[in-house]
Structure 1
Amino acid sequence: MRKVNIVFLVGLCVGALAALVVVVATPQRHVVTALGPAPVAAAGTDRSTAEVRDSPAATTSGTTTGSAAAGTAKTKPAGAGKDNTAQALASLVPDGHVSVVVYDRQDKTTVLSVDADRTYTSASLVKLMIAFQALDNGADPARVTEMLERSDDNTASDLWVTYGWGSIVDNAVRRMGLTGTHPPASPGHWGDTQITADDITKIYRYLVEEAPERDRTIILAALHHPTVHGADGIRQFFGIPDAVGPGNFAVKQGWSCCEPDHSIMLHTSGLVYDDRFIVTVLTQQPAAADYTKASAQLTAVVKNLVPLLKK
């Protein structure tokens, strides 16, 4: 009997270890978005400070600090000045938070910056960092393409584990000069990586300005050809794709929900209009909004930015 008990206990231990490996290496999935690890509560401020500079579309002036969840603000054109811009964008996500950066690569100018330093969990935007690390270390380009085009979580998990876990984020921070980005507190939950709109914009600038040509070619090709639906079945054409239309974008999207803070993280980022403008829009919305409503609100934010993107 003693021998039987020992064998039984050993079997339990081995099984527990195997289960632990599965949990760490595979992102948790959720009902609303079926994507990525459970987001941790986003750190950062609640301010919504907008900075608008000269752009080909509009010249604005003024300074302001508004509420990030200004549900009573009236929607106005995005180029109507710093006060109106921050309030207008916040009003489109009345129960949540929105951060925006628009950068004009041609004029080398930040056209718009709204609460750009607020921290969010990354969801799938961290896959941009994974892509660089994987390609630099000899990964099959087809796997990186699959991860980016279909936002494939299983591929992301494999590459995350194979090429360094949280050190992937640390390397991106050093390489790209990121200031508000940090690895996830739980190493296996890659989607809990902490990001800001300012830092995501820096990642795109690195991609088009400094990255090795081979990496740039592979990643840009994938971003120019995202599938309509992600590997998990979620439609990933919210935000930039729906706002600017076919042929005008190269994007990486992010979505996750809902524990432990009952929030939907919904992000859209990429290059638009012949890759001239870098657009980053990050949102945190209550899970009660549901995916359909949250997607519509994010798309409305980007549509409000389109006047700034006209050449």
Structure 2
Amino acid sequence: MPTRRPHRKGRVLISLALACAAALSLAPGASGTPRRAPVDATAAAGADADVPPGVTAGIAVFDRETGTFTERHNADLRFRSASVVKIMLALDYLWDRGPDYDVPEAERSRLEGMLRSSHDGAASHYWSTRGGSAIIDRMVPRLGLTGTAPPPASHPGYWGYTAITAADTVRVYRHLLDEAPAPVRDLVLGHLRAATRCAADGYDQYFGIASAFERPWSLKQGWSGFDSGGCTAAEREAERARERAASRASGIDLVSEALHSTGTVGADDRTVVAVLTLHEDGTPYGTAYARLTRLVGSLDVPGAVRPAGAWFPTWGSGVRVRAAATTDSAVVTTLPAGVEVLVGCQRRGERIDVPPHSSDWWAHLPQYDGYLTNVFVDVPEEKLPGVPDCT
């Protein structure tokens, strides 16, 4: 089965890169991949922010109970927003709805798709019908933002190239939680609490907050710059040349792969978390996914509950998570290539052979409520070390 790779996100770019419910074969054959050791899920808790080499991060973590930041790292550094800007698009639409905040059914559906499943078409609708960059110009003073700016003049239609900072992202969430009228707060945060694992474009968007912490949480994620393989080399290089020029003009990196995790964590939305990251050009989506999740999990987040289990790397692409320890069971989801997974326990099931690897043990992944054959867990043993049997 061919490897699936994610795509570039910014305008109306909808594709099925990493389709989460694809009913294809178990996984592609692969061999010779070095296998590594697991990471205890609790070991990183309470440590300093673990920013991986080659990653640029902007971090702001605000504890609403104490009114203080527990983490700040490059909090005022500008990043392109990717889909995080969709919260501002929703707030701009809702701002002038009147005291009853009557939202037509068609717009309710559009807002749901944009906020829960990160639908690009919905964002482009609001961008084109409500003045494009004028939306950002309106929202900056409304929300008291200091580092947010419209997309560069060279990319006026690219709402995902809006400049944001981690500090401003926290301000947006604090407005939603503490200042927005109840109908606005309930509508927007209600959708963010119900964010789907699979985005409208097929991306698994449960990295960062959703993987590092148990519910309750709300989240709005962002991703940009990952290659779908859908363009020719010449087209891709031409686009990269335009992005490099725009980066120089605007002072914002529009080339490196961007992956952001933002939202609230804990009972009563105790803590606001904003982690914005850039990864070296060419970084695979699964690699960035794992790095960001580990970074978020290393933060001091009051009220957060970290899931029990151990993190293990995986190998292969198009790897399926199943409802039971057999390939006859339903496909729960498809993993991003090379992502790390949390394993709670393991059980014997159907024997899987992908030479030179073979195993009849399957890892239970509690955050997917499904099973992954140990063949695609990147350790040398057939049975995962230190992981209990499922009861």
Q: Distance in 2 between matches of 1:283 and 1:181?
A: 16
Residue 273, structure 1, aligned to residue 266, structure 2: yes
Map 1:93-108 onto structure 2 (within 5 A).
94-108=53-67
Q: Helix, strand or coil for the counterpart of 1:305?
A: coil
Whether the aligned pair in 2 keeps the contact of 1:176 and 1:203 (CA below 8 Å) is: yes
How far off its partner does 1:213 sit?
Answer: 1.5
How far off its partner does 1:243 sit?
Answer: 0.4
Q: Helix, strand or coil for the counterpart of 1:89?
A: coil
Q: Helix, strand or coil for the counterpart of 2:259?
A: strand
Q: Distance in 1 between matches of 2:278 and 2:61?
A: 19
Aligned residue in 1 for 2:327: none
Deviations, residues 26-70 of structure 1 (Å, cap 9, x unaligned): xxxxx63342249xxxxxxxxxxxxxxxxxxxxxxxxxxxxxxxx
Q: Helix, strand or coil for the counterpart of 2:219?
A: strand
Alignment counterpart, residue 88 of structure 2, candidates 129, 133, 156: 129
Q: Distance in 1 between matches of 2:6 and 2:157?
A: 21
Whether the aligned pair in 1 keeps the contact of 2:177 and 2:185 (CA below 8 Å) is: yes
Residue 263, structure 1, aligned to residue 263, structure 2: no
Aligned residue in 2 for 1:112: 71
Alignment counterpart, residue 294 of structure 2, candidates 283, 300, 303: 300
Aligned residue in 2 for 1:220: 189
Aligned residue in 1 for 2:279: 285
Q: Distance in 2 between matches of 1:34 and 1:248?
A: 30
Q: Distance in 2 between matches of 1:307 and 1:213?
A: 25
Deviations, residues 229-254 of structure 1 (Å, cap 9, x unaligned): 11000000000000002x22100000
CA distance change for structure 1 residues 203 and 272 in 2, over 3 Å: closer, same or farther? same
How far off its partner does 1:134 sit?
Answer: 1.3
Q: Distance in 2 between matches of 1:238 and 1:132?
A: 24
Q: Distance in 2 between matches of 1:302 and 1:96?
A: 13
Q: Helix, strand or coil for the counterpart of 2:283?
A: helix
Q: Distance in 2 between matches of 1:77 and 1:233?
A: 30
What are the ranges of 5 or more consecutive residues in structure 1 without an aligned counterpart?
A: 1-30, 39-75
Read off the aligned partner of 2:184 and give its amino acid letter.
D
Whether the aligned pair in 2 keeps the contact of 1:89 and 1:98 (CA below 8 Å) is: no
Q: Distance in 1 between matches of 2:293 and 2:85?
A: 21
Read off the aligned partner of 1:254 and give its amino acid letter.
G
How far off its partner does 1:162 sit?
Answer: 1.2
Deviations, residues 54-99 of structure 1 (Å, cap 9, x unaligned): xxxxxxxxxxxxxxxxxxxxxx96756xxxx3xx522x2x112011
Map 1:79-228 onto structure 2 (within 5 A).
79=46, 85=48, 88-90=49-51, 92=52, 94-138=53-97, 140-185=107-152, 186-228=155-197
Q: Distance in 2 between matches of 1:77 and 1:148?
A: 30
Read off the aligned partner of 1:102 and give its amino acid letter.
V
Q: Distance in 2 between matches of 1:284 and 1:34?
A: 14
CA distance change for structure 1 residues 77 and 235 in 2, over 3 Å: closer, same or farther? closer
CA distance change for structure 1 residues 271 and 307 in 2, over 3 Å: closer, same or farther? closer
Q: Helix, strand or coil for the counterpart of 1:107?
A: coil
Q: Distance in 2 between matches of 1:242 and 1:79?
A: 17
Read off the aligned partner of 1:218 and give its amino acid letter.
L
Larger fraction in helix: 1
Aligned residue in 1 for 2:9: 35
Aligned residue in 1 for 2:216: 248
| TM-score normalised over the length of structure 2 | 0.57
Map 1:36-75 onto structure 2 (within 5 A).
36-37=10-11
Q: Helix, strand or coil for the counterpart of 1:188?
A: coil
Whether the aligned pair in 1 keeps the contact of 2:6 and 2:203 (CA below 8 Å) is: no
Q: Distance in 2 between matches of 1:121 and 1:37?
A: 13
Aligned residue in 1 for 2:359: none
Q: Helix, strand or coil for the counterpart of 2:221?
A: strand
How far off its partner does 1:306 sit?
Answer: 5.2
Whether the aligned pair in 2 keeps the contact of 1:173 and 1:179 (CA below 8 Å) is: yes
What are the ranges of 5 or more consecutive residues in structure 2 without an aligned counterpart?
A: 13-42, 98-102, 227-239, 245-254, 306-391
Aligned residue in 2 for 1:17: none
Q: Helix, strand or coil for the counterpart of 2:157?
A: coil
Aligned residue in 1 for 2:323: none
Larger fraction in strand: 2
How many residue pairs match? The answer is 235
Q: Distance in 1 between matches of 2:184 and 2:291?
A: 33
How far off its partner does 1:287 sit?
Answer: 3.0
Q: Distance in 2 between matches of 1:232 and 1:310?
A: 29
